[in-house]
Structure 1
Amino acid sequence: MCGRYTLFASAADLEARFGADFGGVDPSYNCAPGQSLPVITDETPDRATRMEWGLTPSWADESFGLINARAETVREKRSFADAFERRRCLVPADGFYEWVDEGGAEKTPYRVAFGDDRPFAMAGLYERWEPPEPETTQTGLGAFGGGGDAEPEPDDGPVETFTVVTTEPNEVVADLHHRMAVILEPDEEETWLRGDPDAAADLLDPYPATDLTAHPVSTRVNSPAVDAPELIEPVG
């Protein structure tokens, strides 16, 4: 699975890599579910859009927070099928974390990245979810003795969310976890954003292990509240 990742490349580097405006993006060494993070959508490929990590389908009655979608079933699962057909996105990253049980008191986190820490795109899906309308409540006697209804609290409009698609691991990740994020080659990104569903589905394979590295990092990354450059440094 992919439950944490990093995105500390500068806005200039990200703009050069993806050809999109990233505005004042802040570096993050511990991107976590529930956070508002930049993605590139098929609708506005020239600028990054911030969305909450944890997809909620448009038809849901309540927030879901689905952080990953399995490549093998993404076209059949009701939670993801419509987004796969119409709302695919790129999730910029420059590494991701996996946790391994090595017999200690807690699992050991590993960071997986390219040797030069270059940014890349993970395959993602996005949705717009409208929270249910708030119900009116009785407020007691009105001006003429009748019951009054309180005005419903205004909502904040649609909530935009995304999920990361995962697939079988390559040789590097297989020692760490049984799933890995789908990493797209640069020349595959346009197809993922705008290609037909069959062409997009053909991209959901493990990224070659040749250029990827993995090393253990501090367990401080376990807390989403911790975000510091030291998190990506090798330990032990």
Structure 2
Amino acid sequence: MCGRYVSTRSPQELAPLFHVSDPPPEETLAPSWNVAPTDNVWAVLERAPRASNSDSASANDAGVRRELRPLRWGLVPSWAKDVKIGSRMINARVETVHEKPAYRRAFTRRRCLLPADGFYEWEQIKDPGTEKTRKQPYFIHPEDDQLMALAGLYEYWRDPAVKHDDDPNAWLLTCTIITTEATDAAGRVHPRMPLALTPDHYDTWLDPTHQDPHDLRALLGQPAGGHLDARPVSTMVNNVRNNNPHLVDEASS
């Protein structure tokens, strides 16, 4: 699974990397070395402009727009009665994402990329000379320190307590990260890992008009290329209140 990750790039850095159509948003998120479920995170997505029935032709001409916007991590399905379900839906397994009721509609229409510097996983290890075990956290990231584009889905949830649709509090946008079998260094720590896409697959993955499940699943057949490095880090990362650059420093033995 992926329960924590690192995201430190600014909107000004991310927008050109993902060829975002609109200017970077005025809203900012602080760099985070300990992104946790229910946090707001940067997401790259594409949406078709809304139009009235009389203006459908001009909407099609305008085409989709690529946006960079903050979403809450932990997908809340549109039919959910309580947003709390999102804290249990931070990951979607690539093997079943296209068929699970909570994800299958978003899989065909609402896909996104979640920029990350790397992610954390925990390994159960034995303390030398004792029978006790403990969980050792590792920071897993590309060896070349390139940005990862994690495959994700997003969804809209309408808050029934808010009367009007045009109220900014009426809609909650949430997301989940798709996971796959772990490879490379990540596989030595944990059997699952977030699935990162290569740049040549960004356009097809984000395009909301591309809705063939078979073709979309083909994009997720292999994680993005490149080698991953896994280094042990301090157990300070276990506490979500801790958030600073030293969390990714290698732990002293």
Where in structure 1 are there 5+ consecutive unaligned residues? 135-153
Which one of the candidate residues 69, 80, 96 is aligned to 1:60? Answer: 80
* Equivalent residue runs for 1:57-136 within 5 Å: 57-63=77-83, 64-65=85-86, 66-104=89-127, 106-133=134-161
Deviations 1:198-220 (A, max 9, x none): 22211223426642111111111
For 2:250, the equivalent position in structure 1 comes to: 234
How far off is 1:17 after superposition? Answer: 1.4
* Equivalent residue runs for 1:173-192 within 5 Å: 173-192=186-205
SS in structure 2 of the partner of residue 47 of structure 1: strand
Which one of the candidate residues 181, 184, 202 is aligned to 1:168? Answer: 181
Deviations 1:18-72 (A, max 9, x none): 1234444421111110101110112175331111100010011112111000111
Contact 1:34 1:54 in 2 (8 A): yes
Contact 1:171 1:209 in 2 (8 A): no
Distance in 2 (CA, whole Å) between partners of 1:233 and 1:205 is 32
TM-score, normalised to structure 1's length? 0.85
Shift in alpha-carbon separation, 1:28–1:45, aligned structure 2, 3 A? farther
Distance in 2 (CA, whole Å) between partners of 1:60 and 1:92 is 27
* Percent identity for Structure 1 against Structure 2: 39
Contact 2:197 2:224 in 1 (8 A): no
SS in structure 2 of the partner of residue 183 of structure 1: coil
60-69 or 105-114, which deviates more: 105-114
How far off is 1:165 after superposition? Answer: 0.4
Contact 1:113 1:212 in 2 (8 A): yes
How far off is 1:169 after superposition? Answer: 1.0
For 2:69, the equivalent position in structure 1 comes to: 49
For 1:142, the equivalent position in structure 2 comes to: none
Contact 1:122 1:182 in 2 (8 A): yes
Q: Please say which structure displays the higher CA radius of gyration.
A: 1
Where in structure 2 are there 5+ consecutive unaligned residues? 48-63, 128-132
For 1:148, the equivalent position in structure 2 comes to: none
Shift in alpha-carbon separation, 1:155–1:13, aligned structure 2, 3 A? closer
Instruction: Specify the code of the residue in structure 2 equivalent to 1:92.
Output: P
Q: Which runs of 4+ in 1 moved over 6 A?
A: none
Q: What is the alpha-carbon root mean square deviation over aligned residues?
A: 2.2
Distance in 1 (CA, whole Å) between partners of 2:239 and 2:24 is 26
SS in structure 2 of the partner of residue 46 of structure 1: strand
How far off is 1:133 after superposition? Answer: 3.6
For 2:14, the equivalent position in structure 1 comes to: 14
TM-score, normalised to structure 2's length? 0.79
SS in structure 2 of the partner of residue 162 of structure 1: strand
* Equivalent residue runs for 1:128-167 within 5 Å: 128-133=156-161, 156-167=169-180
Distance in 1 (CA, whole Å) between partners of 2:119 and 2:65 is 23
Which one of the candidate residues 161, 186, 202 is aligned to 2:218? Answer: 202
